[in-house]
Amino acid sequence: MSEIHIHNLFPVPVMRVENFLGEDEIQATVDAIKSSPSMLNSQNELLSHTEVMRSDANEHYRNIGEKAQDYLRDFGFLLFGENLGWHIKEMWMNMLANGGHQSMHTHANSFISGVVYLTDSHESAKTVFHNTMGTRAYVFSNSHAESAITPYNADRWVASDMQCGDLLLFPSYMLHAVPRNEGRERISIAMNALPERLKSWDYEVSFQS
């Protein structure tokens, strides 16, 4: 019988870091940052955000930034094939009330984005990643009751394993959203990171913190 080999061609990495923050760190971070000025989301009044700040803006963001360095380096190696220095250029807290949702979006002007979960998420409000939409090619699908969903034909992936204290890292270009929250308030911190520089043959691009 002939041997069969399946190659995962050009996969997209997503990193989960379990127990990134401890219980004491989580509570202190929520208490400190949740009291800072916030604004309602432009598309959903049940979602609010604190102001966008640098990672050294306060001790809690600074702690998260320092703890994330090794994971950003390792995740960056998967994207660029080199252990680069990374800096988190911005962080903010998201507070999603019962009934709220976060529309599909990407994060501009960054290469790695992350979410630190400060509460457990209700099953209805897990982060959902969507496959690329709006290509210029015709699209045919085979989606019905008898068809199976595989890593190669799925149009979305749900980060169902994330728990309070976990960190999720993903390429910033990935489309993602949070469906309608049917549970209690969902709190998380979002971040965007840039490498120190990218080099290709005869040119180099640097990113300043």
Is residue 26 in some structural domain? yes
Is residue 204 in some structural domain? no
**Which pTM was predicted?**
0.93
Is residue 201 in some structural domain? no
Q: What is the pLDDT of residue 133?
A: 67
Nearest to 186 by CA among 51, 100, 95: 95
Is residue 136 in some structural domain? yes
Q: What is the pLDDT of residue 137?
A: 64
Instruction: Count how many domains the chain has.
Output: 1
How many Å apart are CA 89 and CA 56, to the nearest integer? 9
What is the Rg, in whole angstroms, of the alpha carbon atoms belonging to the chain?
A: 19
Is residue 8 in some structural domain? no
Is residue 124 in some structural domain? yes
Q: What is the pLDDT of residue 185?
A: 97
Indicate the burial class of 200 (C-beta count within 10 angstroms; 0-12, 13-18, 19 or more): exposed
Q: pLDDT tens string for the chain (209 positions)?
A: 899 999 999 999 999 999 999 999 999 999 999 888 899 998 889 999 999 999 999 999 999 999 999 999 999 999 999 999 999 999 999 999 999 999 999 999 999 999 999 999 999 999 999 987 666 667 788 889 999 999 888 889 999 999 999 999 999 999 999 999 999 999 999 999 999 999 999 999 999 87
Question: CB within 8 A of 144, min separation 6: which ones?
Answer: none
Q: What is the pLDDT of residue 143?
A: 87
Question: CB within 8 A of 19, min separation 6: which ones?
Answer: 165, 166
What residue numbers bound the domain in which 186 lies? 15-196
Is residue 103 in some structural domain? yes
CA angle 92, 98, 104 (to 5 degrees): 55
Is residue 3 in some structural domain? no
CATH number at residue 151: 2.60.120.620
